[in-house]
Amino acid sequence: MSDKAKSIASKKTSGQDERLKEVSKLRLLLNRPELGAVGGAILVFIFFGIVAGDTGMFSAYGTLNFLDVSANLGIIAIAAAMLMIGGEFDLSIGSMIGFAGICIAIPAIYWGWPLWVSIIFAFAMAVLVGYFNGILVVRTGLPSFIVTLAMLFILRGATLAITRLITGRTQVPGLRVLIENDPIAWMFATDTFKWLFTWLGSMNLIALRTDGTPLATGIPPSVIWFIAATLFATWILMKTRYGNWIFASGGDKNGATNVGVPVGRVKISLFIGTAVAATIFATIQVLDAGSADTMRGNLKELEAIAAAVVGGCLLTGGYGSAIGAAFGALIFGTVSMGIFYTDVDTDWFKVFLGAMMLIAVVFNNYIRKRVTETK
Amino acid sequence: MSENLIEFNNISKFFGKVIALKDVTMKLKKGEIMCLLGDNGAGKSTLIKTLAGVHKPDEGEIVIEGKKTVFDSPKDALDMGIGTVYQDLALVPLMSVTRNFFMGREPLKGPPFLKTFDIEKANQIAAERMGQIGIDVRDPSQAVGTMSGGERQCLAISRAIYFGAKVLVLDEPTSALGVHQASMVLKYIVKAASQGLAVILITHNVHHAYPVGNSFTVLNRGKSLGTFNKKDISREELLGMMAGGEELDKLEVELKEMDRLSKN
């Protein structure tokens, strides 16, 4: 009798468990921050597949084009997303791109430094700027929005003033000849998987130039950096103690402090992260173009934040994902390039960007309510 | 004397000219629940922060297991086994149960310099610990925001116990809760005490404190009005001793007066 009762009871509980698990798996998926961005990216690809499927947008060359644009944005968007999860903003990313550019170009061209020393110098400056941003925000308790807005002007102004002072103009060309044989420049300037594209070309699977070499020569370095940054950031957020501290610092600063999370250190390191990401962006761009321009990176900070928001980051911190930001960047990159393949006037791109962001914010707000609602 | 797990002898704390605490003495044994009662401004918060190592007492001594101790930081207090659960609980609603449970003290695995957060182990411990309290977290990766207020409180207490608290200091654990939720939390507090912890329960709600407390210390304007064993004092007497007591009497008189006037 009691055995029977027990077996019924156990059946009941196990049955219940299974049912609940199914629900929670679905919920888990629905509650993932990157859901919106992944869905959005799929929609974007379907749209361009229909509208521009036969225009060459999805040829090897076209694909690499929009991937390159997405990847460049993605590198800074991921760092911006991590900082946003940590509860802060960095509006100085765009200015940092311009600043890092001339930090590479002026020493290399005007002071005769080896290119690799100039690149390391730029990264060192990035760490300094990020540290300064971070310590200012942490020490003063001022909103990072204000502190980094100030830094946006300071850096851009300094970039312009210093460049004009030293060079007499606002552009520094002539870097391309320095790339060859440089011990580290190749990391930012070399296309990879060239053999694959050569092979694909020889098999007549991808478009060729008139001289028989493939039109798309290899994966651009930005894409490699982008993929590496996405994986690295995701690993940090999901799998490390420091990642948990990032969520905690952004989710509830006081609570995190009370249980021993070094909130100040976490935030400072994230500001260094955005400045370093801006410098990676700048290095790739400067070496690709062969020149630095003081206006490089203008408004990029807002695009990075937009991509992070579309990727599911909450403006209030404590929630978001690197994968989401990566897909957010992919959406923007794909649309900004794809629009050339359609009959739509490219002026409409910014309208799309804004609308996308509005939809994302409304959607994120809904998700947050779902996640935090009391059952 | 040394059977007391923790003693606070004649603790005083001044902020400039303000006397926040004066000569407060409390003694606790293992398994005992002491309720610290007092109205707003009685010095409860200052006392909690002194217990938690945030403030250093200006006078008096803290004795833990017979040894005189000075807390230089909250971490010292934590290391000595004093687990403080603040009113805000230090929980992040957007983060999962597991991530909250181990926030700041994540278990690690892997080789040096590449240590990762051992999320499987953390999930397992969190689910197990919550299960012991009778909270069925179907999925320890669910956000804390989906839990009820009582469950969150229990999670915060459970976390303090897991990380080695011998003395639990609970700041108003039931203040924001409904009757059902509050009784769930109080039940858990009694259970924790029965397992050998000493509990200091800070509250201004006599009705929550009286059923679970073994002894009661009443604070009024920074001074202790004394510590009473349960058998020596009634609920009404306790209520009367808190600053609110006289006020409530006065209120009752005033209400009667209003009642009388409105009838006329």
Return the H-helix or E-strand segment holding A71. helix A60-85
pLDDT for residue B183 is more than 60? yes
Which DSSP string corresponds to B185-239?
HHHHHHHHHHTT-EEEEEES-HHHHHHH-SEEEEEETTEEEEEEEGGG--HHHHH
CATH class of the structural domain B4-94+164-263: alpha beta
Q: Which amino acid is residue B37, in one-letter code?
A: L
Nearest to A244 among B106, B139, B141 (CB): B106
Give the tokens for residue B73. Answer: 């930081």
Instruction: Name the more confident of B45 and A331.
Output: A331
Residue B117 to residue A239, Cβ atoms within 8 A: yes
Kindly report the backbone phi and psi dihedral angles of residue A22, in degrees, each rounded to the nearest multiple of 5, phi listed first.
Answer: -60, -45
Beta carbon pairs, A and B, within 8 Å = 101
Nearest to B95 among A31, A251, A260 (CB): A251
Under a CB-based contact definition with an 8 Å cutoff, are residues A98 and A155 in contact?
yes
Give the pLDDT band of residue B8 (cuts 50, 70, 90).
Answer: confident
* Chain B closest-CA separation from residue A37 CA (Å): 19
How many Å apart are CA B95 and CA A319, to the nearest integer?
8
Residue A256 to residue B104, Cβ atoms within 8 A: yes
The residue among B73, B94, B98 with the most chain A CBs within 10 A of its CB, best to mutate, is B94
* pLDDT at res. A18: 45
pLDDT in tens, B76-110: 888 888 888 888 888 988 899 999 999 988 899 98
* pLDDT at res. A278: 97
Low-confidence ranges of chain A (pLDDT < 50): 1-20, 374-375
Q: Dihedral of CA A91/A93/A98/A102: which sign?
A: positive
Residue listed under structure tokens 């654990």: B173
Return the H-helix or E-strand segment holding B21. strand B18-29
CATH class of the structural domain A36-372: mainly alpha
**Chain A residues with CB inside 8 Å of B92's CB?**
247-248, 251-252, 255-256, 318
How many Å apart are CA B57 and CA B27, to the nearest integer?
16
Which residues does A contribute to its contact with B (CB < 8 Å)?
17, 20-21, 24, 27-28, 31, 238-241, 243-245, 247-248, 251-252, 254-256, 258-261, 314, 318-319, 368, 371-375
Non-local (6+) Cβ contacts of A323 within 8 A are: A34, A37, A38, A230, A234, A311
* Chain A closest-CA separation from residue B173 CA (Å): 16
Residue A254 to residue B90, Cβ atoms within 8 A: yes
Distances (CA, A) of A317 to A103, A252, A286, A353, B151: 32, 9, 32, 22, 24
Instruction: Indicate the Cα dihedral angle A230, A233, A238, A242, nearest 10°.
Output: 180
Beta bridge partners of residue B200, listed in sequence order: B34, B169
* pLDDT at res. A298: 92
The residue among A259, A266, A315, A372 with the most chain B CBs within 10 A of its CB, best to mutate, is A259
Residue listed under structure tokens 């400056």: A125
**Chain B residues with CB inside 8 Å of A374's CB?**
145-149
How many Å apart are CA A272 and CA A88, to the nearest integer?
12
* pLDDT at res. A13: 41
Residue A255 to residue B91, Cβ atoms within 8 A: yes
**Chain B residues with CB inside 8 Å of A24's CB?**
138-139, 142
Residue A372 to residue B95, Cβ atoms within 8 A: no
Q: Where are the domains of chain B?
A: 4-94+164-263
**Chain A residues with CB inside 8 Å of B86's CB?**
258
Q: Dihedral of CA A186/A187/A188/A189: which sign?
A: positive
Give the nearest chain B residue to A85 (CA atoms): B94
Give the nearest chain A residue to B146 (CA atoms): A374
Kindly report the backbone phi and psi dihedral angles of residue A55, in degrees, each rounded to the nearest multiple of 5, phi listed first.
Answer: -100, -5
Residue A251 to residue B94, Cβ atoms within 8 A: yes
* pLDDT at res. A342: 85
* pLDDT at res. A24: 56
ipTM surpassing 0.85: no
pLDDT in tens, B194-242: 988 999 999 888 888 889 999 998 888 888 888 888 888 888 888 777 7
